[in-house]
Amino acid sequence: MNKLFELLKFKIKSTINLEKIKKMKKINLLFFGFIFLYFGFSLTFSITMITDGAINATKEYGLTFYLIPLFFVMISFFLFQLSIFNTKSIMYSARDNDLLLSLPIPSKSILMSRVLITLLWNFLISLFIMLPMLITYAVRVGVSFDFVIMSLVTLIILPIIPTILASIFGYLIAFLTTKSNASKWIEYVLSLGMILFFVLIFSNIESILMYVVNNFDKIENFIKYGFYSIYLVIEMFSKSSYLSLILCLIINFGLFFIFLHALNLNYKKLLSRLNEKKTKTKFQLKKLKHTQAKQILFFKEAKRYFSSPIYVFNTLFGVIIMLIGSLAVFFTDKKDIINLIKEGGLNLNLFSVVILMVTFIAFLSNTSCASISIEGKNLWILKSLPIKLKSIIVTKVMFNFIVMIIPIIISIFAFSFVFGFSMIEMLFLILVAIISLGCSSMFGIIINLKFPKLDAIDDTVVVKRSLSVIIATMLPLILIMTLGTIYPFIEKYISLNNYLIILFSIVFVLNIVQIIIINTWAPKRLQEIN
């Protein structure tokens, strides 16, 4: 137990890196503090509004007491989806496997520390989402002592089952990796399957909810016998049942310990098998190909990118969804889409919606903000080769641009064709995509150069938790949200089209500023990074 505690303490300490925070300049600390606070506030506000809307909608059917279990299920899905990409690298393919296995620490403690770290992450995320939901619910519907107790229990047990399921998914990938050479492909297929599953669920959410309302008794029975833990949460809140609360705790913690015990039976063996390397016996030198230096740098970038499923899915997720959406519009009635936009509370025409979507995806799909960090200990190779430092940077910017622009332009063609946009409108959309992608690609690399993370233990840390990635994706998100919030207040004075033209002109100017930075500051900064 002591060793487990020590291990956990060390892991948390190294993740938070307090020493680095202490060394940060006050102005930087203030800036990041402000960004995080603002983002936190914006997200809390959005969650509160969504909860408020959901309460209004369910009140009509007298199903308000089902909301907390519904939130419970939705956040569970979200946590599961978030963790499936992390568990393989955190629990099975971690770089400290050899070190920890060589130390006098029982394998169960190693496993437990890794599961607890995942659980802790999921707990913090669920707390961040669930707390505003529960408070809004309590204010709108009313609060009792029982509600407070049950909410606390719900918060505690919420991340357990998603963590277990995601760990099993990670185990499956790790296990298949030991059986096959095509581990990356297995990871790609399973992860893509999971994304498609979620897309399918969320694109049909309305019909699913209608089905739930119309077949209430059947669903209740289905949940009771299929997902007993969720049924208990419903019972807890609808009947203030303390028996359900106790059963819920027993089931969740019981499942957790059974899962730990079962996984531990094979854990050490699996870790050691993951260490085994499959090699070919004979090699024959076939005719080699000569490629120009700039091209080979680009190919190197592509190989590195596609060799990391977590990097690919974290950055291509939005683009894939947009591509699927653009294909789906071929089979959807245009009127239904317009109604959907109106129901969503957006007073926008189709053209403006596509502009917003393209901008949003272009800014959120960013490979360049992790591209320096992902080099990690290999950065010496590029820096010692006879290539201009600027070429290295430009290649990384161009890679992001080219990877993202192709599916975005395909989507623009599809949307333009289905929605009947004119040639000028289509060209304007392409221009918006180019300007936005150029801006996000350059912004990503500049931020990554400013805050590189070259000592990450794996790609997950770089792609999901490094400062540059958080800033490069959060800052545009905050800006887009802010600009969207401001517009209704100035709607009287400026048309949407003019507002968008002004904004894209600013983005255009930003691009010029960033080009100057990439030509002057960026190569010097890359030289400094070591």
Partner 1 sequence: MLEIKDFSKTYGKGGKKAVDKLNLKVKKGEIYGFIGHNGAGKTTTIKAMVGIIDFEEGKIKIDKHSIKTDPILCKQKIAYIPDNPDIYENVRGIDYLNFIADIFNVSLQDREIAINKYASEFDIFDNLGDLVSTYSHGMKQKLVIISALLHDPLLVIMDEPFVGLDPTSAFKLKKIMKDMCKKGVSFLFSSHVLEVVEKLCDKVAIIKKGKLIASGTVKEIKGDKSLEDLFVELND
Chain positions contacting partner 1, by CB under 8 A: 277-285, 287-293, 296-297, 300, 303-304, 307-308, 376-378, 380-381, 383-388, 524, 527-528, 530
Length of the chain measured in residues: 530
For residue 310, the Cα-to-chain-centroid distance in whole angstroms is: 10
Nearest to partner 1 of 291, 347 (CB atom): 291
The CB-of-375 to partner 1 minimum distance in angstroms stands at: 9
Nearest to partner 1 of 214, 281 (CB atom): 281
CB 466 within 8 A of CB 444: no
CB 467 within 8 A of CB 17: no
Gap between the Cα atoms of 415 and 357, Å rounded: 11
Nearest to partner 1 of 277, 492 (CB atom): 277
Nearest to partner 1 of 367, 511 (CB atom): 367
458 secondary structure, DSSP code: S
Q: What's the per-residue H, E or C state across 405-431?
A: HHHHHHHHHHHHHHHCCCHHHHHHHHH
Gap between the Cα atoms of 131 and 286, Å rounded: 61
CB-based burial label for 277 (10 Å; 0-12, 13-18, 19+):
exposed
Nearest to partner 1 of 20, 278 (CB atom): 278
The CB-of-180 to partner 1 minimum distance in angstroms stands at: 14
Both tokens of residue 364?
């959120």
The CB-of-308 to partner 1 minimum distance in angstroms stands at: 8
Nearest CA to 372 among 462, 471, 295? 462
The CB-of-289 to partner 1 minimum distance in angstroms stands at: 7
Euclidean distance between the first and final Cα of the chain, in Å?
A: 38
Gap between the Cα atoms of 136 and 507, Å rounded: 37
For residue 259, the Cα-to-chain-centroid distance in whole angstroms is: 26
Nearest to partner 1 of 136, 367 (CB atom): 367
The CB-of-8 to partner 1 minimum distance in angstroms stands at: 29
The CB-of-387 to partner 1 minimum distance in angstroms stands at: 6
463 secondary structure, DSSP code: I
The residue whose two tokens read 């913690």 is: 253
Nearest to partner 1 of 128, 380 (CB atom): 380
Nearest to partner 1 of 284, 495 (CB atom): 284
Nearest to partner 1 of 214, 384 (CB atom): 384
Nearest to partner 1 of 148, 381 (CB atom): 381
The CB-of-191 to partner 1 minimum distance in angstroms stands at: 17
The residue whose two tokens read 């002109």 is: 505
CB 159 within 8 A of CB 126: yes
CA angle 207, 208, 213 (to 5 degrees): 95
The CB-of-525 to partner 1 minimum distance in angstroms stands at: 10
Gap between the Cα atoms of 223 and 72, Å rounded: 13
Both tokens of residue 202?
């969320």
The CB-of-309 to partner 1 minimum distance in angstroms stands at: 12
CB 332 within 8 A of CB 319: no
Gap between the Cα atoms of 24 and 37, Å rounded: 18
Both tokens of residue 105?
């620490």
Nearest to partner 1 of 19, 333 (CB atom): 19
The CB-of-183 to partner 1 minimum distance in angstroms stands at: 11
88 secondary structure, DSSP code: I
Q: Which amino acid is at 337?
A: I
Q: Which amino acid is at 210?
A: M
Nearest to partner 1 of 207, 292 (CB atom): 292
Gap between the Cα atoms of 15 and 13, Å rounded: 5
